[in-house]
Amino acid sequence: MHQQLRRTWLWGALAVVVALGLSTGAQAQSYPAKPIRLVVPFTPGGVTDTSGRLIAEQLSKRLGQQVIVDNKPGASGNIGTQMVSAAEPDGYTLLLGFDGTMVINPHVFPKVGFDTVKDFAPIGKIGDAVLILVSHPGFAAKSLKDVIALSKTQPGGLSYGTSGTGGTPHIAGELLKLRTGANLTHIPYKGGGQAMTDVLGGNIPLVYTAIAGAIPHVKSGKLHPVAVSSAKRASSLPDVQTFIENGVADFESNSWVALLAPAKTPRAIVDRLNAELNAVLNDPEARERLNGMGITATPGTPEKLGEEIKRDLARYGQVVKAANIKAE
């Protein structure tokens, strides 16, 4: 009797597993059957938003369903990001993830409303946005070595502006201080545009920013490039040396943007989205359009993105703690 009951239970359990597998397979095979919402946790117009709109446009063509950008700004990206973390894991709500929100905010804010590792399924990285340290042309120190040396002679330190507290440029500046002993004082602005205006006007000597916003001013001679934070020289400014070339070993601090889904999204759907995203990123026209935004396309696997997220969470957490950075 007990053996018969056990056999009946096992067959019943097997039937459930098979049914679930067939259901998941059918769901993935028919995916997508309706429009997809891509949540961008920032206001329209910035580099993150424009890159997301490009990806949405290209994915719409490849998937045969419209990918609709839905801007949900607030709390430095935390509101829109938390919204996606709580969404149904069916592939119809996706997140445009930004490194500032995903790997810096959890250390800077007392509560963000999501767990970067547990609440999301990485789909793929879209690309890296190179950061650059620039100075006013009238500033005495031209090379990175001179900037560091001069900073150590200033009791109050040399001021450097960024788009705000806890952003990737701010973290990069603090990392530079930790690695070199430079005496730098962070000046947070409410956006990179305001910081750029002040360095152009000579009100502050230095600004750490995304390369896209600095390129026109560097090429016109209105700003002097000190160094870029990428591992290799930026293709858009090939004459500008990296921090590594200037003797700061293993100094790479780029801003990145990626595509993620809620945790427990079926792997078949994640793989489909990853394949289509990589096809977009390997398209010469799309790569060129991203490059014009200062973003270098980086096709890859969900696993690679997941590893980078975990790595950045750890290393940026150390910087935030050492510099005692807290959300304003």
pLDDT at 212: 83
Q: 268 CB contacts (<8 Å, ≥6 apart)?
A: 24, 25, 27, 28, 29, 31
Report whether 126 contacts 260 (CB < 8 A). Answer: no
Q: What is the pLDDT of residues 26-53, one digit of tens each?
A: 556 789 999 999 999 988 877 788 899 9
Q: What architecture is domain 131-228? A: 3-Layer(aba) Sandwich (3.40)
Structure tokens at 139: 């500033």
Beta bridge partners of 135: 206, 224
**pLDDT band with cut points at 50, 70 and 90 for residue 254:** confident
Q: What is the pLDDT of residues 293-313, one digit of tens each?
A: 889 899 999 999 999 999 999
CA pair distance 123, 73, nearest whole angstrom:
22
Nearest to 296 by CA among 243, 250, 240, 256: 256
CA pair distance 169, 187, nearest whole angstrom:
11
Nearest to 98 by CA among 106, 88, 90, 87: 106
CB-based burial label for 34 (10 Å; 0-12, 13-18, 19+): exposed
Domain edges within the chain = 31-128+255-323, 131-228
Average pLDDT, the chain: 90
Amino acid 274 reads N
Q: What is the pLDDT of residues 138-197, one digit of tens each?
A: 999 999 999 999 999 999 999 999 988 888 999 999 999 999 999 999 999 877 788 899
Mean pLDDT over 88-115 rounds to 96
31-128+255-323 is a CATH 3.40.50.2300 domain: no
Mean pLDDT over 242-252 rounds to 92
Higher pLDDT residue, 251 or 94?
Answer: 94
Q: How many residues does the chain have?
A: 328
Instruction: Give the pairing type, strands 131-135 and 206-210.
Output: antiparallel
Q: Do the first three CATH levels of 31-128+255-323 and 131-228 match, i.e. the same topology?
A: yes
Mean pLDDT over 116-130 rounds to 96
Asked if pLDDT for residue 270 goes beyond 80, the answer is yes
Report, in this order, helix, strand and coil percent for the chain, each rounded to 5.
45, 20, 35
DSSP class per residue in 50-117: HHHHHHHHHHHHHHSS-EEEEE---GGGHHHHHHHHTS-SSSSEEEEEEHIIIIIHHHHSS--SS-TT
**Would the pTM count as exceeding 0.85?**
no
